[in-house]
Amino acid sequence: MNILEELRSRFREPLSQWVDDPEPYLAMVRRAQDVRFGDVQANFAMPLAKRVGQNARELATEIVASLDVSDLCEEPEVAGPGFINLRLRTDWLEQATASLVTDERLGHVAVSTARNYVVDYSAPNVAKPMHVGHLRSTVIGDSLCRLLRFQGHRVIGDNHIGDWGTQFGMLIFGYKHFLDAEAFRREPVQELARLYRLVHQLSSYHDARRELPAQQEQLAQLRKQIEAAEKASDVEPKQRSRTLKKLRKSLEEVAERCRQLEAACAAVESSPELKSLADAYPDIAEQARAETAKLHAGDEENRRLWELFLPSCLDALQRIYDRLGISFDLTLGESFYQPMLEEVVEELQGKGIATESEGAVCVFVEGNEAPLIIRKTDGAFTYATTDLATIKYRREKLKAESILYVVDARQSEHFRLVFEVARRWGFGNIDFRHVRFGTVLGRDGKPFKTRSGDTVGLESLLDEAVARARAIVDENDDAKPDGPELDEATRTAVAEVVGIGGIKYADLKHNRESDYVFDWDKMLAKNGDSATYIQYAYARICGIFRKGGVDREQLRREGGTIRIERPVERALVVQLLQFPEAIDAAAVECRPNFLAQYLFATANRFTAFYDECQILPEQDADRRRGWLLLCDLTARALKLGLELLGISVCERM
RNA sequence: GUCCCCGUAGCUCAAUCGGAUAGAGCGUCGGCCUCCGGAGCCGAAGGUUGCAGGUUCGAAUCCUGCCGGGGAUACCA
């Protein structure tokens, strides 16, 4: 039972005597913020009182009089300006908790009307190695799939991979000119990655060489302008300082850009080998683009190479997904939609939604200067075209009712336009949602990079996490009073669970919309709000059962009464009963951090309980049994909750 | 230039479409191991929620302006 929902439904009848639509007021029934206000508080009396022109306290009192919650709660209290405070009855709590013992879903009730969801997440570009930037989409998207599915919805997780873009032109060009055939035979993925990096480096070198003089010129210009502005005496001081600030900021940006370009040049010029390659291929970027164009135009050779590369690229991705414990129902990349793009453009033009402008086919959306371009001047389609084709496919073939895009917040404008165009096109019945997330930053507050400025590869990130976790596991196990108890294989397995779990949890615990700082030390911290802490709480409970020789299945079958005699017990019980609320809130708002927060609080309340109540030595058999039942429920809540975040647990660690 | 997002404890972050005395973790300080796993527990200090106005019973949350940060902005995805 979702307690909040239950109490809301109790208020529905009394409220409907005051308003036609009680729903918005029912939403104001929520968990109490402070134990002094009970367990649940209803805050609707104040706004409602204003609407019906009555005193809020009196109104609250009247509503309470016609409210029937006596089976669940103590006598409701009206407090302050008109808050209604509800405190759950101890006997009800005891009975409700006992009823969870045999409930596999721990009180959560599946939705009555299931919807068809398509969740679009991860979506790496397959031609280049995955990096830290893909982590958030992958991890958040996976958790949302799990949550929605648990709620009872039909969910299709779709990995909309980039398998058709300019990166493939670079690979093809690299393969044709720089291939180490032996290396490709042995380790195709590594060789492809090398080719990608090489072509990318050479083409950015030429770009940099070309761009640098202009940037340096601008740098000089800005310096002059700043000098001039500093001397200017005919403008208001305020205006002048504003201008100066703006100029200085531009200066900084341009200077930074120059440094980058110089570094790109130096990297190539310091290596005779690279330099001679660069000299040999001065127009490498155009040539790579030409290879992409040929691929798109159906060139046989390039098509063959694309088909040759793709399986290895997908294998490389799969390795990472396997390690993360993430799977997709579909992997339909951009190439899949290629045959449909022509028709998309024709349809939109036919309906008068798209028009030609400056040689490109565009859709203009009110309030936006820049149009959505669905066919470029050169005739090529864009990712906007693909996104639109994808929507049509998902609606018509996958019967999608809701589509979630778990994508970087920087693409907000793109999605706003795409959704708007899709609605005009006739897909207004789809519930579109851009589940946006912020950037992963390094400890310096800038986008997370290696010391040399490269993006951090995802695989090495996972290796690092597991290695750090392993060190902690070793240290902990070696320090056990009765000597180490984990063998080599177990330690390896535990380190994997702790390391991967740590990375995922660090991501999921944050509000996804804000940027977050990637910090190894916090991620795998032995204490505090981390996956490790929750996993450890779970392992401790398992330890109790192991040590006590308790068969959990049997314990559940036999049942027993759960008595609430101390505050720590009550706190834990209330927490356990809130499991359904945490799941629903996280799923409805697409915010896994709600669930993460819940799990941390649950683990925390458990350890407080555990600290105060000596379970195994307890002499009173009924009390001991009740405590064991609480342990079992807690363990199950932690395990299931972590599972819905995509995080595993260990019996010992 | 236009548009979008953000600014909360020393640090990293919460705060469930406006609710009561703004919460956690880390760090700091102080307690707790003859006791089931101390990767732990309990407690303390720490805040004018960037600034100034406004809206109302009530504002971190909504509106306006300013300051500061980030991002997007016609043919890369």
pLDDT tens sequence across A337-394: 999 999 999 999 999 999 999 999 999 988 788 899 999 998 889 999 999 999 999 9
**A109/A441: higher pLDDT:** A109
**Residue A121, CB half-sphere, CA atoms under 13 Å: how many?**
30
Q: Does residue A376 lie within 7 Å of nucleic acid chain B, judged by its CB? A: yes
Q: pLDDT tier at A240 (50, 70, 90 boundaries)?
A: confident
Q: Is the CB of A53 under 7 A from strand B?
A: no
Fold of A3-88: Gyrase A; domain 2 (3.30.1360)
Asked if the Cβ of residue A604 lies within 7 A of any atom of strand B, the reply is yes
> Residue A249: is its pLDDT beyond 90?
no
Q: Which letter does DSSP use for residue A22 in this model?
A: -
| Confidence at residue A305, expressed as pLDDT on a 0 to 100 scale | 95
Domain boundaries, chain A: 3-88, 168-292, 468-645
Indicate if the pLDDT at residue A132 is higher than 90. Answer: no
Three-state DSSP class for residue A106: coil
* Nucleotide closest in space to A494 (CA vs C1'): B39
Window from A56-60, A158-162, A440-444 with minimum mean pLDDT: A440-444
Report the nucleotide nearest the CA of residue A600, measured to C1'. Answer: B24
* A517 or A563, higher pLDDT: A563
User: Residue A171, CB, less than 7 Å from strand B?
Assistant: no
Residue A451 has pLDDT above 70, yes or no: no
Residue A415 CA to nucleotide B6 C1', Å? Answer: 20
User: How many residues does the structure list for chain A?
Assistant: 653
CA distance A50 to A54: 6
| Predicted local distance difference test score (pLDDT) of residue A485 | 86
Task: Give the CA A51 to C1' B54 distance in Å.
Answer: 22
Residue A549: exposure state from Cβ atoms within 10 A (0-12, 13-18, ≥19): exposed
User: Residue range A101-112: average pLDDT?
Assistant: 95
Query: What is the CA A653 to C1' B64 distance in angstroms?
Result: 56
Phi and psi of A509, rounded to 5°?
-75, -20
- List strand B contacts in A 620-649 (CB < 7 A): none
Q: For chain B, which bases have at least one atom within 7 A of a protein Cβ?
A: 1-2, 4-6, 12-17, 19-21, 23-27, 35-42, 56-58, 67-77
What CA dihedral angle connects A53, A57, A58 and A59, to 10 degrees? 60
pLDDT band of residue A243 (cuts 50, 70, 90) is confident
Q: Is the CB of A481 under 7 A from strand B?
A: no
Element (H, E) at A154: strand A154-158
Through-space separation of residue A573 CA and nucleotide B23 C1' in angstroms? 21
Three-state DSSP state, A138: helix
pLDDT for res A408: 92
Dump pLDDT digits (tens) for A595-615.
999 999 999 999 999 999 999
Minimal CA–CA distance to A117: which of A590, A594, A646? Answer: A590
pLDDT of residue A89: 95
**Within window 490-549 on A, which residues have Cβ closer than 7 Å to strand B?**
494, 498, 509-511, 513-517, 519, 522, 525-529, 532-533, 536, 539-540, 542-544, 547-548
Q: What is A468-645's CATH superfamily?
A: Isoleucyl-tRNA Synthetase; Domain 1 (1.10.730.10)
Query: Which protein residue's Cα is closest to nucleotide B23 at C1'?
Result: A33
- The overall average pLDDT reported for chain A is 92
Fold match, A3-88 / A468-645 = no
Q: Cα dist. A34→A37, A114, A377, A648 in Å?
A: 6, 35, 61, 32
pLDDT(A111) > 90? yes
Determine the distance from the C-alpha atom of residue A649 to the mean position of all C-alpha atoms in its chain, rounded to a whole number.
Answer: 20
